[in-house]
Every structure is written in structure tokens, then in C-alpha cells.
Amino acid sequence: MRKTDFRVKRTEKSIRGNSDFGRFKSHYEQRRKREARSKLMIMAIGIILLTVLILFFAQARQPQTANPTNELKFENVELKL
């Protein structure tokens, strides 16, 4: 366990921060909005990645057919000599 650094000094009687509730309220609302936006972004990125992944695997699972374009067919060809 880390040792605490004890400092001995006189603390001011009137030590107080800025307890303005209006400031806290606007800070809270902004932070909540920011958090909601980043949550939404993460969800959107997740959905896109998932879709890409699903498409990729669906493609990979399709049976490979023999390449028909290279075959030459002479079924209805009449040879006249």
C-alpha cells in the first residue's frame, strides 16, 4: 500500500469552492449531452462494424460455382465444310 504524504499546515477557516448551483446545473446538462452524443457515436460505429462483418461472412459462406465464363460451348454450331 502506498504511504500517504502528511502535510502539516494551517488551513484557512473559510476555504470554500464555487458552490453556485446554476453553474453546476449547466455544466451537468452539457456533460450529459456530450456523454449521450458519444454513446450514440459508439453505438453507430458498432452497428456499422457489425453489418460489415455480417456481410463479409455471408459472402464467405456462399458456395463457389465453377467459373462458367471460361467454358466454350458449341452446342448449336453447324459446321459447313
Partner 1 sequence: MGEYDTHTDLEEEKVWIAASKLDIGGFEPLYKHYYDEIYRFIYRRTDSQVLAEDLCANTFYKALRNISKYEFRGKPFGHWLYRIAGNEVNRHYRKRRPLFIIDHQKVSEPLGIERSETHDIEKKLRFVFTQLSETDIWFIELKYFEGLTFKELSIRLDQGESAVKMRHYRLLDKMKTLLQERYEED
Quick check: 28 binds partner 1 (CB under 8 A)? Answer: yes
Closest CB to partner 1 among residues 21, 57? 21
If you compute the radius of gyration of the chain from its CA atoms, what whole number of angstroms results? 35
All three cell numbers of 1, joined, read 500500500
Instruction: Give how far the C-alpha of residue 79 lies from the chain's centroid of Cα atoms, to the nearest Å.
Output: 64
Contact between 10 and partner 1 by CB under 8 A: the answer reads yes
Which contacts qualify for 18-26: CB closer than 8 Å, 24 or more apart?
none
In the complex with partner 1, the residue whose CB is nearer, 32 or 50, is 32
Binding site for partner 1 (CB under 8 A): 2-11, 15-19, 21, 24-25, 27-29, 31-32
